[in-house]
Chain A
Amino acid sequence: MLASVLTTNLAILVLAGFIGFVVISKVPNTLHTPLMSGTNAIHGIVLLGGLLLLGFSGLDGLSKALLVIAVAFGTINVVGGFLVTDRMLDMFKSRPKPAKPAEQPAEEQRAEPKDEPGTGEGA
């Protein structure tokens, strides 16, 4: 029996869906915001689509321009997503002495939160 590319990929799709449900179900409410921004970064993987297509021959100017934008968008999604998740998760680590996160490499230096007066309130 020949399994076609389609059915193989469908199998991967379905299995990935189930794995996703199992793994994500274990994430506690506390970490839902980092989960969102982390999965956000992961779907930035569409970047690969842009990179793949840029390798095609015979792309015209418009296609190239669209792909550069797509790659830029995907990169924003990936780089920004992982970085912001890292910043966020860093705060969840229990710190015995506040304001002493010196064990982190330099790229994790967080901008000091700037306090601004509140402007509203809601639910």
Chain B
Amino acid sequence: MTSLPLATSFLQAENFIYVLYIVAFALFIQGLRGLSGPTTAVRGNRIAAVGMAIAVVATLLIPSEGNWGLIALGIALGTAVGIPAARNVKMTAMPQMVALFNGVGGGAVALISWVEFRHYGSTYGSLAIPLTNQPVLGDTFHPAIPTYVAIFSVFAAIVGSISFWGSNIAFGKLQEVIPGRPISFGSAQQAVNLVLLILALAAGIDLVAGAHSELLFVGMLVVAALLGNAVVLPIGGADMPVVISLLNAFTGLSAAATGMALNNPALIVAGMIVGASGTILTNLMATAMNRSIPAIVAGGFGGGGAVAGAQGAGEHAGTVRSTSAADAAIQLAYASHVVVVPGYGMAVAQAQHAVRELAIELEKRGVDVKYAIHPVAGRMPGHMNVLLAEADVPYDQLKEMDEINPDFQRTDVSLVIGANDVTNPAAKNTPSSPIYGMPILEVADSRSVIVIKRSMNPGFAGIENELYFDPKTAMLFGDAKSAVAEITAELGQL
């Protein structure tokens, strides 16, 4: 713009900017490679952040770039909100935070598509120029743009809007602003979702075909928004890891589509990698719950599970043995192998530090302590690992399900803290159970079990847990944090 002409001509050359984009996405990939191990992960994240900075600078160098005041305003607003939010969020609130950040990303995609439509949507539907002539970078679009640009732009708008609203609902549920229990239209739910999806697609096709109506575009965004609400509202809290991963994939794919529409390689690569990542995680989570992704998105798990659970409750007329913190302390002190099984209850009670203190106390007495982490324990992938890492638990003590399951037979005491469905033997033994077939932590194999739980209320799936009626199981009722702290205090007096 007004800077030195010589420097400008070099730095603002199209190829130079393109090279910066290539450097940026190479850094993203290199950064993500760093996430393959805890020791390299911090650096990996920072490498990716450097890539992002380069991509932003490259974009600002584009000669047609303008409206500097507005750019500064947008970035200042985003920074003012983003930094305090990221700094102050508690580790237990991480799922909400991720949902929220994901949502704003999706929202940005939808808004960008809207402006694209306002800017050159009037030419959608006219195949006036050959594809080879599509200009690169900046405001040099021809009077008519290729149809594929319109398709990607409309796709980004729909998916971005679904992702924005879906993520906000997920945030609301995790933050308990909205009830975590499934909210749905009952049997009409799937029909409603289908109608909304068809409406959104029909509007999209109409727009691509050349319906130059902004009202229709906004209507499409609204229908997609309703769809985002309708899909996530019926999903129960326990299915949240799948939903968050899926929405993450959606936002990534919509960003890639925006990149296709804007002919921006950094957006394409970054969006696609996030799409791949979200897809992998969604699959992993769904597998770990033995549920198909369509079944989760179609909803109804919580409702159906509660009915079956009620039947299951009748079958288990057995008695539940409750114990005290003092007895639990004795049991743990004389054990040689203890496995801690954390769940969402540990997260909501913020009990991770108390758990760590208990483990330290036990280790002083020569007890071997390990942690068994179910892939879907908590509300997002890897939720328990983050909390225990926060409490300084060495990560080599955290064992994944397949690794720890054979060890339960040699375990003297399994200490289950706020975990429920992931320990339920019904998943193995009761074909009629809604969770039948879900891989579980084989806690019932250990010599004895202590379950810390607030009450006998079933978990989010609404299913009675046979484990609690097992004669070798003792229940310690109470808030996870205070119960664990009491055990630690009792241990100190032994």
Instruction: Report A's interface with B, CB cutoff 8 A.
Output: 2, 4-6, 9-10, 12-13, 16-17, 19-21, 23-60, 62-64, 66-95, 98, 110-111, 113-123
Contacts and interface: CB of A to CB of B under 8 A. Distances in A.
16 contacts: A21-B280, A36-B245, A44-B105, A46-B108, A48-B55, A62-B118, A71-B108, A73-B107, A74-B104, A76-B81, A78-B78, A81-B86, A91-B389, A98-B392, A117-B479, A121-B480
Interface stretch (B184-192, B256-264, B310-318, B361-369): B256-264
Contacts of B420: 121-123
Sorting the interface of chain B by its residue count into under 10, 10 to 19, 20 to 34 or 35 or more gives 35 or more
Interface in B415-450: 418-422
B273 A42 contact: yes
A72 B74 contact: yes
B351 interface: yes
Name the residue among A24, A32, A113 with the largest chain B CB count within 10 angstroms: A32
Nearest to B21: A48
Contacts of A46: 105, 108-109, 112, 254-255, 258, 267, 271
Given A75-B78, A122-B343, A39 B83 contact: no
A25 B349 contact: no
Contacts of B116: 53
A75 B98 contact: no
A46 B385 CA distance: 29
Contacts of B102: 40, 43, 77
Interface string B453-485: 110010111000000000000000001111000
Contacts of A123: 237-238, 343-344, 376-377, 419-422, 459-461
Name the residue among B38, B74, B271 with the largest chain A CB count within 10 angstroms: B74
B381 interface: yes
A119 B348 contact: yes
A81 B382 contact: no
A77 B375 CA distance: 26
Contact of B274 (A39, A59, A70, A119): A39
Nearest to B84: A80
Contacts of B386: 33-34, 88, 91
B115 interface: yes
Contact of A39 (B41, B104, B248, B353): B248
Contacts of A41: 48-49, 52, 101
Contact of A37 (B46, B101, B343, B385): B101
